[in-house]
Each structure stands twice: as C-alpha cells, then as structure tokens.
Amino acid sequence: VSASSVSRFLRGERVRNAAVIQQAIDELRFRPSPLARSLKSGITHLIALVVPDVSNPFFAEVVKGSEAVSRRAGYNILLVNTDESVEREHELLAALSGRVDGIILAPATERAEAVADLRGTGAPIVFLDRELHGNEDFDCVLVDNAGGARLAAEHLIALGHKRIGLISGPIDTTPGRGRHEGFVDALEQAEIELPPSYVQIADFREQGGYQAALRLLAAEPPPSAIFAANNLMAIGALRALATVGVATPDELSFVGFDDLKLAELLKPSLTVVSRPTEEQGALAMRLLLDRLGGNEDVAARRIMLETQLTVRGSTAAPPELLRSASTRTAAV
Amino acid sequence: VSASSVSRFLRGERVRNAAVIQQAIDELRFRPSPLARSLKSGITHLIALVVPDVSNPFFAEVVKGSEAVSRRAGYNILLVNTDESVEREHELLAALSGRVDGIILAPATERAEAVADLRGTGAPIVFLDRELHGNEDFDCVLVDNAGGARLAAEHLIALGHKRIGLISGPIDTTPGRGRHEGFVDALEQAEIELPPSYVQIADFREQGGYQAALRLLAAEPPPSAIFAANNLMAIGALRALATVGVATPDELSFVGFDDLKLAELLKPSLTVVSRPTEEQGALAMRLLLDRLGGNEDVAARRIMLETQLTVRGSTAAPPELLRSASTRTAAV
DNA sequence: TTGAAAGCGCTAACAC
DNA sequence: GTGTTAGCGCTTTCAA
C-alpha cells in the first residue's frame, strides 16, 4: 500500500484496498499531519483573531460574532492575546505567519510599525476596531468612536454639567484617540472648559481607570460628571467611586463606553455608549472570508458602525442644580 | 548564496557574506516559514489553551495566569473556544494536532470520548478545571468543587435557611458534577430536604441561569436561598431576580461560584465561592512546560486547589426568621 | 486504479 | 565556511 493511495483514500476517492487501508489506519492510529498538509497546500483553514486583551468582554463578544461566521465557512479561529503590547504583537504575528490563512487584528498601537509584519505574513488582514495610521491598504471594521464620545458628552451637558472629567484610553490607539477627540470637541462646541486636571490618560485597563478616577476626584473642584472611554476603565472608576464614597448619580454622574453584562444590574444601573459588538466581529470575518474566497484585489473597504447612548441610572443633573432646585422649592 | 548559508545566518552563525545575505533578505522581504521549520524540527513553540467559553471571565483569568508562565519559557499561547460543544472540541483538537507542542484542555464533557483525539495528537496534555472520566494518564489541575459547593450550602444553612435551591451546571462536566454532589451532600448531612423542583440543571451560561432561576422562583413555596454553580449562571439568575422583583438578601439569599469583577460593586454585593484562578492557569502551564522540558514519563500529577467562601452582602437570614425575630421584638 | 517521483520551505549531516 | 544532499509528512502530477 503506497502513501499516495492512502492519501487518495483519505480524500474520499474510490480505492481498491479501501478496507485494508482503513484497518491499517485504525491499527496504527494514523492521523494525517495538518502541518504537512498545510505546507504542501498552503491552506490551513485557520484564522487568527489577534486582540489586545482577551479579558475585555468587548473582545469576547467580538469572538462570538466572528466565530458564528467563520464556522459556517469551515474555518477555525485561533484567539491570540497581545496584552496591549507592541512587542508581544510583533512576536505573535511573526509566529503566526504562514500558520493561518488570514488575520483579524486589533493592533496595540496606531503607529505604523506593525505594517512590515503584516506585509510579511502574506495572509490577508482585516483590522478590527483599531487600525494603523494612514491605513489605506487593509479592510477595517471600526466604530464611530468620536461620535460615541460626543453622545456621552452631550448627554452630560444636556443634564447641566459644567465640570466634566474624562478618563481617556491610550492616545496612540484608534478608539483611544477617537473617543478623546470626540469628547473634547463636544465640550469645546458647548464652550465648556476642560482643564488638564480633568483629562486623565489611562491604559484601557481596570487598574488604570481606578487610578485615573482617583486623580479626577482629587481635582479642585472635582468634576460633577465623568466619562470613561472603555468598559474596563469604567469598572475601575466605579470601584474608585465606591472606595472614596462618592454617590452616583447624586454627587457624580458617570458614563462608560461599551456595555457590560452587569451594567443593568448595578445600582444605579450604568449609562453607557453601546454598539453592535457581535456584528462588528461578524463583519470583520465576512470581509476576511471574502478576500480568502478570491476577492483579493478588491480595494480596501472601510466599515464604520454607529454607536448609541443607552441611558440608565448613573447620570442625572449635577448636585448644584439639584441643590438650587430644592432651595427654590424650599423658598416657595 | 545557498539556502543553508541563509539558514545559518538566520541562526546567528558566522557567515562570510553576512552583509549580502542581509541585503537580499531585506529586498526580498524574506521571512522564514514557521510552518516549514516546525515540520522539520517538530517544534512549534506554541501551546493551545482549549476552553469551553472564552466569554467566561474565569477562563480569561486563567489565560492570564498561563500566559505569564508560558511567556518566560518562550512559548506563545493560542486560545481556542469550543463553545461547550463536544463536536467543536473534536474538530478543533484534530485541527490543532501537530500544530502545537502542548495542549491545556478544559473538555466540554467528562465522557471519555475525547481521549482518542488526545492520544492522536502526540502532544502532552494537561487538563484544566475539568477532566475525563477515569483519567489516570494525564496531568490535571482541578479545584475542590464539592468542597466549594459545601461551603456555600453550609453558609446558607448556618444562616437558618431550610428551603435552598440549586442552579446546577451540566452533570457531565467535572465542575458541574462536583458542585452538584457537594451541595446535595451538605444538605443531606444537615437533614434538609431538597425536592426536585429545587434542583435546576442548566448549562453554565447566562441564559440558562436566568431560566433556571425563574423556575426556582415558581416553585411552591419558592426557596429562600439559591446557589448558582458558576459565575455566568449567577449573572443570569440575578437578572431573573431583578426582573421578578425579588429583593436580595431580604427575600432571598444568593451565592455564586467564582468571583466577578463587579461582584463587590453590586448592591447588595455578591457572596461567592472563590478560588485562586490565575494560579490555576499558571499551575497547568507549569505542569505542561515540565513535560515539554523532558519529564515526559513522570506519572500523571493531580493538583487540587482549595476554594474559599467570600461572604458579602447577598446572603442573610431567611425572611421567616427575620420576621419572627421582629415579631418577638415587637412582643417585647 | 495505482505506485514512483517531485516538491512545499526548511535544517542538519556530510563532504569539500 | 560553504554547498550538496536528504528528509520532515503530505499531495499531486505522471506513467504504468
């Protein structure tokens, strides 16, 4: 029995010694090596989903969306965690090169350093939620970060807040920069001052949000409202508020970016900017599968998803308005 | 310039035409194929971490623990999601075979079906948090599920609860079975009846926990305390309690298994059974690295981690006790 | 139908 | 130091 016959048998072709081969396979516990197959064929049926933080529920949702789509097309997903580190990302991308048919990437930074890695892989790439500076060559599925931050700011402004603090993400990431800009723009447009002490740059992590919130609360006077530019920092900030003993929304209004499973169950429930998370993952996968399906030479596509404001209980009018309102009532 | 010289150059050996080769590499954007390297050497420097649900924060923490250890040893982690499905697990394990040096696996079921896949891969395997029935051949890092559930039950019993409901995970998983057994044992020992309507088997998912909680609340009489056997089901159950309008802990005490980032910030804060999560991931990785480091023939090791009860605000004496206490007070 | 041969991209042993 | 050769495990012509 020759190797090529076994190969054909495995492929489902009609073979004379089918029974014999099957028996030999069982006895020897023979498993064709996917590795060798891939080397020969150049096909892996694997897609890497490279994200900066697997413990961020946003990316967990994204995975769900992507997986639902990829499964139907016969691709399996390898999730890879860069931990927001450019070096790790560089290493991992190198390790993946050739091992996967395509990559969905949420890069650790917008700085275009990674672009060399990307061209090196040969595999099609789709940017997810984050892109590289000046990107025109790769597909991407983004969200209107500036618009979302603007929604949050305008909501707080409409409630009467004048002292609004920002817990920003890293400025060298697409969502960090976008949300920062949108927020600052909205305040400028409303002619609300934003002193430096009201802008705290953190790292999209819980601990960073915690410390940023403490710094905001230490400002003199402290803000009457805070917007945290992602969900993890929001959790950290809420922990800080609880530690210091600031009541929400009575003493301070709070808005997060990206919903949380428990956002509704918190007391007060959490006002957030939300977006179609699973859909974002699904769309990125569709773009990638499209390239893998032969449309390699289509011009790069850029999809921008809309955000929406989900108003819950953590936002209200600032205390000075409430106080003056009750004073007025008392006066009456 | 011959291929082997390039190979040597890449390997860091002294080569005469170093400069020329470097230039050629740059010009041609040459990247050695990790795939071919692995085929040749049998080494990938990759470890697969196969989990049933990447959106479960428990596994996210585990990843952190594993990653911290693997990184120092020069291995990269590929996270793989089986979505609690045996078929997906089967497919994925097959796809991974040969592509990774080792596997850390939290199997979708205890039923020993997967074991054939495992022997097929050739790669060392460590079971994480879940194992296969009758496993004696593979390392594993488990947690004392029965003991943890017992802690929860005894806590509720000590508070005076007599009608205690259980939201159990799938009985064919290690933690599902262990927590179920520990809970039932503790109640039996305390001679507390556990009618079938007080035991709801769900799927370790939020939606399952939601529905299980609704069924428990529909029992006649409803339980005065509920234990949910994992974090996601706990979230679902809390949502059900909020929907129905049951006050915690005044009307119903609640205990979860596995901590949550926001458990402390809920009102009331959530009483849970907790465990050293990152450590569990780190230990599994250490066992695996040990095998990869040459100790292939050591007997299978079995590590069991302890749980602890973190008492917070969601548990209190049952309403009938409180009522009779206040009645007594009123009588005085 | 089937086996022999070539080759995917790389590395290690061998001779030069 | 360097190139040649062989081979990792598979698939795919090409003859037979």
> Between the CA atoms of A59, B243, A269 and A279, what dihedral angle is there, to the nearest 10 degrees?
30
Between residues 2 and 41 of chain B, which touch chain A (CB distance below 8 Å)? 29, 31, 33-36, 38-39
Q: Which residue is nearest to nucleotide D6 (CA to C1')?
A: B40
Q: Which of the 8 DSSP states describes residue A306?
A: P
SS3 state of residue B62: helix
The rounded percent of chain A whose pLDDT value lies above 70 is: 96
Report pLDDT for B115: 75
Check B31 against A97: CB less than 8 A apart. Answer: yes
Report pLDDT for A244: 97
Cα A72 from Cα A88, distance rounded (Å): 31
Exposed / middle / buried, residue A31 (Cβ in 10 Å: 0-12, 13-18, 19+): middle
Average pLDDT over residues B274-283: 98
> Strand C: which residues 5-34 of A lie within 7 A (CB)?
5, 8, 14-17
Q: Is the pLDDT of residue B331 over 60?
A: no
Report pLDDT for B320: 84
Describe the crossing of helices B34-41 and A86-96 by its angle, rounded to 10 degrees.
Answer: 70
B101 near B78, Cβ under 8 Å?
no
Average pLDDT over residues A121-127: 89
CB-proximal positions of chain C, under 7 Å: 1-5, 7-13
Check A46 against B267: CB less than 8 A apart. Answer: no
Exposed / middle / buried, residue B190 (Cβ in 10 Å: 0-12, 13-18, 19+): middle
Answer positive or negative: Cα dihedral of A244, A248, A252, A255: positive
Check B34 against A94: CB less than 8 A apart. Answer: yes
For the stretch A220-254, pLDDT in tens is 999 999 999 999 999 999 999 999 999 999 999 99
B45 near B260, Cβ under 8 Å?
no
User: Would the Cβ of B218 be found within 7 angstroms of any atom in strand C?
Assistant: no
Report pLDDT for B323: 66
Q: Which residues of B touch A230 (CB under 8 A)?
A: none
Q: Is the pLDDT of residue A120 over 80?
A: no
The whole-model pTM stands at 0.94
Q: Which is it for strands B253-257 and B199-201: parallel, antiparallel or unpaired? A: unpaired
Check B235 against A57: CB less than 8 A apart. Answer: no
Report pLDDT for A324: 62
For the stretch A153-207, pLDDT in tens is 999 999 999 999 999 999 999 999 999 999 999 999 999 999 999 999 999 999 9
Average pLDDT over residues B187-213: 98
CB half-sphere exposure, A41, CA atoms < 13 A:
11
Question: Quick one: tokens of A248?
Answer: 């929400």
Report pLDDT for A233: 98
Average pLDDT over residues B153-180: 98
Q: Is the pLDDT of residue A72 over 50?
A: yes
**Which nucleotide in the DNA or RNA is closest to residue A37, CA to C1'?**
D10
Mean pLDDT, rounded, of chain B: 93
Range with the poorest average pLDDT among A144-158, B65-79, B139-153, B312-326:
B312-326
Cα A245 from Cα A249, distance rounded (Å): 12
Confidence of residue A297 (pLDDT cuts 50, 70, 90): confident
Q: Is the pLDDT of residue B270 over 80?
A: yes
Check B238 against A265: CB less than 8 A apart. Answer: yes
Average pLDDT over residues B291-311: 94
Q: Which residues of B touch A64 (CB under 8 A)?
A: 55
Cα A184 from Cα A191, distance rounded (Å): 10
Report pLDDT for B332: 39
Question: Which residues lie across from B104 on neighbouring strands?
Answer: B49, B126
Element (H, E) at B49: strand B46-51
Q: Nearest Cβ partner of B39 from A35, A78, A261?
A: A35
Give the gyration radius of chain A's Cα atoms. Answer: 25
B210-247 as b/e: b if 16+ CB within 10 A: bbbbbebbeeeebbbbbbbbbbbbbbbbbbbbeeeebe
Confidence of residue B42 (pLDDT cuts 50, 70, 90): very high
Report pLDDT for B294: 82
Cα B238 from Cα B313, distance rounded (Å): 14
CB-proximal positions of chain D, under 7 Å: 1-5, 7-13
Average pLDDT over residues B51-58: 97
Question: Which residues lie across from B80 on neighbouring strands?
Answer: B50
Q: Is the pLDDT of residue B24 over 80?
A: yes
Q: Which is it for strands B46-51 and B76-81: parallel, antiparallel or unpaired? A: parallel
Q: How far apart are the first and last CA of chain B?
A: 101
Average pLDDT over residues B87-110: 94
Q: Is the pLDDT of residue B114 over 80?
A: no
Adjacency order of strands within the sheet including A271-274:
A199-201, A164-168, A225-228, A253-257, A271-274, A308-310
**What separation in angstroms does the CA of B147 have from each of A274, B182, B309?**
40, 6, 10
Question: Quick one: tokens of A224?
Answer: 């009457």
Q: Nearest Cβ partner of A262 from B76, B99, B266?
A: B266
A8 CA vs C3 C1’ separation (Å): 12
SS3 state of residue A141: strand
Report pLDDT for B209: 98
Average pLDDT over residues B22-29: 89
Locate the chain B residue with the closest alpha carbon to A91.
Answer: B76
Report pLDDT for A325: 58
Q: Which residue is nearest to nucleotide D13 (CA to C1')?
A: A4
Check B31 against A94: CB less than 8 A apart. Answer: yes
- The answer, for A42 touching chain B at a CB cutoff of 8 Å, is no
Q: Is the pLDDT of residue B229 over 50?
A: yes
Residue with more model confidence, B304 or A295: B304
Check B34 against A265: CB less than 8 A apart. Answer: no
Q: Which of B55, B104, B239, B264 to mutate to test the interface with A (most CBs of A within 10 A)?
A: B55
Confidence of residue B324 (pLDDT cuts 50, 70, 90): low
Report pLDDT for A284: 98
